[in-house]
C-alpha cells in the first residue's frame, strides 16, 4: 500500500488584521496642554459638585472640544489622517466625507483610581488618542482582540511577554506627544491609574458620512 505523503510546507496568509498606528508629535504638547487647562479645571469643579461618580473613577472629562478654534488644526489633521488610514485599510470612500464627530480631553485625578472600562465606539470608524501628560508611572491604554469567536475559546499563551497570534490583549506604553489611531470597533480600556503623576490625553472619534447628508463644506 502506497504511503500518503502530506505537504511539507504550508503557505500562510494573514486575514482579518486589526491595525493600530502611532506616531510621535511632541511639538503640539505645550500649546494643547495650555488651552486644555480651562476644560480640565471646569471638569474638576463639576466632579467635585457631583457626588455620583461614573464607572471611570476619578476622571476629569471635558465638554466637547469641537468648535474651539484652539483645536481646529488638530481636528483637521485627525480627519485627514483618518481618511488616509481608512483608505489604506481598503475601504472605498468615494462619495463619503470624514468628520471628526467627537473630541474631548481627559485627565485622571491626582489621588488615583482613574480608569476606563472596556468599550468600543459604535458611532465611529476611526478613533484615537493624543497624550499630553503621561509616563511609565501613569495609566496606559489596553486593547483587546475584537474577534468574538477567538476570545470565546482561548488557550493559554506560551509567552505573554511577546505579541503573537495567541495574544488577546495588548498594552501600549505612552508618553507626551504620542498620537495613536485605531478602528473604532477595537475594544479598549485604560488601566487603573495610581495617581503618581498626572495623566492627560485628548480622545476623538471620526465617522465617514455620505456626501450630501450633512450640509458642511
The DSSP H or E segment spanning 60 is strand 59-61
Q: Tell me the C-alpha distance between 96 and 82, whole Å.
A: 12
Residue 156 pLDDT > 50: yes
- pLDDT, position 208: 96
Direct distance between the N- and C-terminal alpha carbons of the chain, in angstroms, rounded to an integer = 75
CA proximity to 40, closest of 27, 56, 59 = 59
* Confidence (pLDDT) at 36: 97
Q: Check if the beta carbon of residue 159 is closer than 8 Å to that of residue 217.
A: no
- pLDDT, tens only, 168-200: 899 998 999 999 999 999 999 998 888 888 999
Q: What is the mean pLDDT of the chain?
A: 89
The answer to whether residue 213 scores a pLDDT higher than 90 is no
CATH architecture of 21-49+56-146+167-210: Sandwich (2.60)
Alpha carbons within 13 A on the beta-carbon side of 74: 34
DSSP class of residue 135? -
pLDDT tops 90 at residue 106 = yes
For 41, residues 6+ apart whose C-beta sits below 8 A from its C-beta are none
Q: If you average pLDDT over residues 49-54, what whole number do you get?
A: 57
Name the residue ranges covered by the structural domains of the chain: 21-49+56-146+167-210
Residue 216, pLDDT score: 53
The pLDDT confidence band at residue 71, using thresholds 50, 70 and 90, is very high
DSSP 74-125: HHHHHHHHHHHHHHHTT---TTEEEEEEEEEEEEE-TTS---EEEE--TT-S
Beta carbons within 10 angstroms of residue 67's beta carbon: 9
The answer to whether residue 47 scores a pLDDT higher than 80 is no
Give the separation between CA 78 and CA 72, rounded to whole angstroms.
Answer: 10
Amino acid at each position: 500500500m502506497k504511503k500518503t505523503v502530506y505537504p511539507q510546507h504550508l503557505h500562510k496568509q494573514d486575514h482579518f488584521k486589526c491595525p493600530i498606528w502611532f506616531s510621535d508629535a511632541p511639538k503640539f504638547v505645550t500649546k494643547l496642554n495650555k488651552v486644555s487647562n480651562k476644560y480640565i479645571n471646569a471638569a474638576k469643579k463639576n466632579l467635585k459638585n457631583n457626588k455620583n461618580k461614573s464607572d471611570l473613577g476619578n476622571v476629569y472629562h471635558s465638554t466637547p472640544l469641537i468648535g474651539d478654534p484652539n483645536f481646529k488644526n488638530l481636528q483637521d489633521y485627525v480627519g485627514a489622517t483618518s481618511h488616509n488610514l481608512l483608505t489604506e485599510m481598503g475601504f472605498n470612500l468615494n462619495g463619503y466625507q470624514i468628520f471628526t464627530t467627537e473630541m474631548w480631553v481627559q485627565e485622571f485625578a491626582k489621588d488615583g483610581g482613574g480608569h476606563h472600562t472596556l468599550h468600543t465606539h459604535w458611532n465611529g470608524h476611526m478613533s484615537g488618542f493624543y497624550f499630553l501628560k503621561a509616563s511609565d508611572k501613569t495609566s496606559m491604554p489596553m486593547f483587546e482582540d475584537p474577534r468574538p469567536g477567538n476570545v470565546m475559546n482561548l488557550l493559554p499563551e506560551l509567552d505573554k511577554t511577546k505579541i503573537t497570534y495567541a495574544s488577546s490583549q495588548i498594552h501600549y506604553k505612552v508618553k507626551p506627544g504620542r498620537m495613536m489611531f485605531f478602528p473604532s470597533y477595537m475594544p479598549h480600556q485604560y488601566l487603573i491609574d495610581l495617581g503618581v503623576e498626572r495623566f492627560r490625553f485628548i480622545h476623538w472619534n471620526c465617522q465617514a458620512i455620505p456626501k450630501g447628508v450633512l450640509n458642511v463644506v
